[in-house]
Amino acid sequence: MAWARRRSPRGWACRWRRSSATSPRRCCFAALPIDAVSGLTPSSAIPLSVREQAVTWLVELQSATADEDTHRRWRQWRDADPTHAQAWARVAAFGDTLQSLPPHIAQAALQAPSSAARRKALKTLALLIGVGGAGWLTAQTPWRAWSADHVTGVGERATLALEDGTEVQMNAGSALNVRYTAGARRLQLLRGEILVTTARDPQGRPFSVDTEQGNARALGTRYLVRQLADHSAVTVFEGAVELRPARAGQPRRIEAGQQASYSSVVVDPPQPADDAASAWVDGMLVAQDMPLPVFLEALDRYREGRLYCAPDAAHLTVSGTYPLADADRVLALLQTTLPVTVDHYTRYWTTVSLKKIEKK
* 176-226 pLDDT tens trace: 999 999 999 999 999 999 999 999 998 999 999 999 999 999 998 899 999
Q: Where are the alpha helices (DSSP H) in the chain?
A: 48-61, 68-80, 82-94, 103-109, 116-129, 143-146, 292-300, 327-337
Identify which has the larger pLDDT, 289 or 31: 289
Helix, strand or coil for residue 230?
coil
Beta carbons within 10 angstroms of residue 131's beta carbon: 12
Cβ-based neighbours of 360, under 8 Å, separated by 6 or more: none
| Under 8 Å between Cβ of 142 and 152 | no
Beta carbons within 10 angstroms of residue 63's beta carbon: 18
Q: Are strands 185-197 and 214-227 parallel, antiparallel or unpaired?
A: antiparallel
pLDDT score at 293: 93
Bridge partners, residue 3, by sequence = 16
Residues 110 and 23: their CA atoms lie apart, in Å, by: 9
Average pLDDT, the chain: 76
Q: How confident is the model at residue 304 (pLDDT cuts 50, 70, 90)?
A: confident
Residues 15 and 200: their CA atoms lie apart, in Å, by: 25
Pairs from 236-243 (Cβ < 8 Å, separation ≥ 24): 236/273, 237/273, 237/278, 239/198, 241/216, 241/217, 242/216, 242/217, 243/214, 243/215, 243/216, 243/217, 243/267
Of 89-98, 210-219, 303-312, 348-357, where does mean pLDDT reach its minimum? 89-98
pLDDT score at 305: 81
* 4-61 pLDDT tens trace: 333 232 332 333 333 333 333 333 333 223 333 334 445 456 787 787 788 778 777 7
The one-letter amino acid code at 50 reads V
Closest by Cα among 232, 162, 258 to 201 = 162
Residues 265 and 251: their CA atoms lie apart, in Å, by: 10
Q: Provide mean pLDDT across the span 275-297.
A: 93
Closest by Cα among 48, 24, 145 to 92 = 145
Identify which has the larger pLDDT, 141 or 267: 267
| pTM for this prediction | 0.62
Of 256-265, 323-332, 342-351, where does mean pLDDT reach its minimum? 342-351
Q: List the domains of the chain with CATH numbers.
A: 25-145 (no CATH), 161-171+178-272 (2.60.120.1440), 283-354 (3.55.50.30)
Q: If 0-12 CB within 10 Å is exposed, 13-18 middle and 19+ buried, where does residue 351 land?
A: middle
